[in-house]
Every structure is written in structure tokens, then in C-alpha cells.
Copies of this chain bind each other. A is one copy, B any other.
Amino acid sequence: MKKNPTIADVARKARVSIATASRVVNNSDHPVSAATRRRVLKVVAEMGFAPSEVARALATRQTCMIGVIVGDTNDPYFSAIVRGIEDVARENGYIVIVCNSDRIPAVELTYVRTLLNYRVRGLIFAGGGLTDENYLREMRALVEQMERRNVGVVGLSEHLFPACEVTIDNRAAVRDGTSYLIQYGHRRIGMLSGPAGLNTTRLRTEGYRDALQAAGIAFDPALVIPGDFRFQGGIRAIERLLAIDRLPTAIMSSNDEMAIGAMVALKQRGLRIPTDISLVGLDDILSTQYVDPPLTTVQIPLYEMGATGMRQLVRLLNDEEIEPVLWLNHTLIERQSVSRIAG
């Protein structure tokens, strides 16, 4: 097992001091004569020297690593966000450590601690904040600690601890989706909600109620089906809804995958969409375009959220002034899963 060449090796071979070699490599502003510089650079090339980021991190007390906490990389919602983060990170010389929490408080906390031990320069929380009390207490302490230690923190949805944020208005997004259904004459509207313990779930359900209330429709808790943001969850939700005496005429889903699951389950039972039942999703993942019928949905700029979040983090780390909360727009995308209700 051979060792990597060190800056000492370079210095020796170029017959300069380590300090000089270091200055050439980092082209610092300390003056170095052209001849010396050339000599060092030549040796660097010959030996294929590249400074150890580990050693450099220890000396400068800074790394260029940023941690990203996601629910599940395999969920298209997160994978789009991560891609946005990664692209901007790369442009700015950062590398990204991705951690899947599965939205489990303990896992998330452990990851955050580990990342801090690795001395990441910043941390991005993708996905909605958890609401668990113990989790929040610990997380707030950690965020405070990061503040003191100069570790940047950015949240990508509405989190419950103080951090710079880039988010859409989840409540309004679902309100708009639901209102759209109401405009089409629907008054008995089901809601596929997200997993418990998630702030986003809370907000989206509130948006649903807002829309109902604005239209003077009574809220029926039996029509709100808890889900898990996944395809199978959508299928199960339909089973639960069918257990009710009468199906709603429309369903607002708090994400696309569940909406698609619901669509498949409904079609399997011979129900036509949108003729028999209308469906609105949320996120606008790619597959909304190729299900049949294409899914009407409230678009969230996922990639952009990731990219913007990372951009904010970069600014934060450069000590630039930034908006504490950046709101991104959602947009209703009309496709073919909603129809005016008969009668």
C-alpha cells in the first residue's frame, strides 16, 4: 500500500519550504517569485500531488461538505430536490452527503449529529419538518449549536425550528387544488393526507379545510384519509373510502404518488376518471404526464427548491445577507383528471 504524496514531498523535491509549496498550491496572495512558482508547479504535476482535504479541513477548520437530510431518495419528490441541490453544490465546489431519514425522528437526529462530527459546512433539511415534541426539543438545541459553530442550516419546507427557509406555501397549494375542484361543482371532496407527525401534512390538511370553508362546505372528517405519500398508500386509501356509504365525487391528494395509486385503484373497480370521480394531485412528478388520464395537479418546483435552497446556503456561508424565508410559487396544472360534476 503506497502513500499519497504530501506537500512535504513536493516541497522537498522542489527544494522549497513547505510554506512556499502551500502558497503556490493555493495560490495565496503572499508573493512567490515566478521561477519558484514554476518549479513547484512542475513537481506538483510530476507527482500528481493533490492536497488532502482531510488535512486541509483540520487546519482551516472548514470542509466543503454539505449534508442533506431527505425522507427517501427513492421518492421522486426528494430525488428531484436532491438533484437541484447537487447541481448548485457542484458549481460552488461543495460535495453533498445524502441521508435518508424515512422521517423517523431518531434516525434524523443521529444523522445530524454524525454530520456535525464530520464537520459539514452546512445542512439542508429537505422535506417537511417533523412535529414530534422530543425531536423538536433536541433539534432546536442542535440548530442553536450549529448557529454558534457557524454551520449553515436551510430548510426546504415549513420546519418548526428556526432556520433559513425556501418553501412553497403548502397550505395555499392544497387550498388552490381543492378550490379548483369546488369550481368544477364538487362539494363532497375527499382528501388523501400525508403521514402523521409531519408539519406538511398538517398544513396541507388545513389548506383543504380553508377551501371548504371558503365555499361554505361542511368539513367531514370521515373524508380525510391518512396516507404515507406512496403509491400503495393511495390504493389503500381508496379501499378505506369505499368503506364509506357513498364515494366523494372528487379527491384532493396531498401528493401525486398517492393520487396515482388512487387512480389505479378506482379504475380497477371500474370507475372512470374523471367521469365518475375527479382527482387532483400535488407535486407534478413526471409520471403525472403519462398516467391515463394525465393527472391534474398542483405543481411544486421541486428541482428549483433544491437549487434555490443550496444557493441560499452558499450565500449564508459567504456571510451575505439573505432573506430568512423565500417563498416559491405553486401552479395548478390542468390536465384531464377533473371534470364538472354532473347535475
Chain A residues within 8 Å of B, Cβ to Cβ: 1-4, 50-55, 57-58, 63, 65, 72-74, 76, 79-80, 82-83, 86-87, 90, 95-100, 113-119, 148-150, 231, 260-261, 263-264, 267, 286-287, 289-292, 303
Contact of A119 (CB < 8 Å), options: B2, B54, B83, B86: B54
The interface residues of chain B lying within 8 Å CB-to-CB of A82 are 73-74, 98
By secondary structure, the A interface counts as: helix
Q: Is the CB of B74 within 8 A of A149?
A: no
Besides A50-B113, A73-B98, A291-B291, 14 more A-B contacts (Cβ < 8 Å) are A2-B148, A53-B117, A53-B118, A53-B119, A58-B58, A72-B83, A73-B79, A76-B79, A83-B100, A96-B98, A97-B97, A231-B286, A267-B292, A290-B291
Q: How many copies does the complex hold?
A: 2
Whole-angstrom CA separation of A82 from B50 in the bound complex:
28
Residue of B nearest to A285 (CB): B287
The interface residues of chain B lying within 8 Å CB-to-CB of A96 are 97-99
Whole-angstrom CA separation of A82 from B82 in the bound complex:
12
Whole-angstrom CA separation of A52 from B3 in the bound complex:
23
Q: Is the CB of B287 within 8 A of A290?
A: yes
Contact of A4 (CB < 8 Å), options: B3, B80, B149: B149
The interface residues of chain B lying within 8 Å CB-to-CB of A286 are 231
Whole-angstrom CA separation of A1 from B150 in the bound complex:
6
Contact status of A118 and B54, CB under 8 A, knowing A2-B148, A97-B97, A292-B291: yes
Q: Is the CB of B100 within 8 A of A98?
A: no
Complex A-B: 9 CB contacts under 8 Å: A2-B149, A50-B117, A54-B57, A54-B58, A72-B83, A73-B98, A76-B79, A264-B289, A267-B292
Whole-angstrom CA separation of A264 from B288 in the bound complex:
12
CB distance from A124 to the nearest CB of B (A): 13
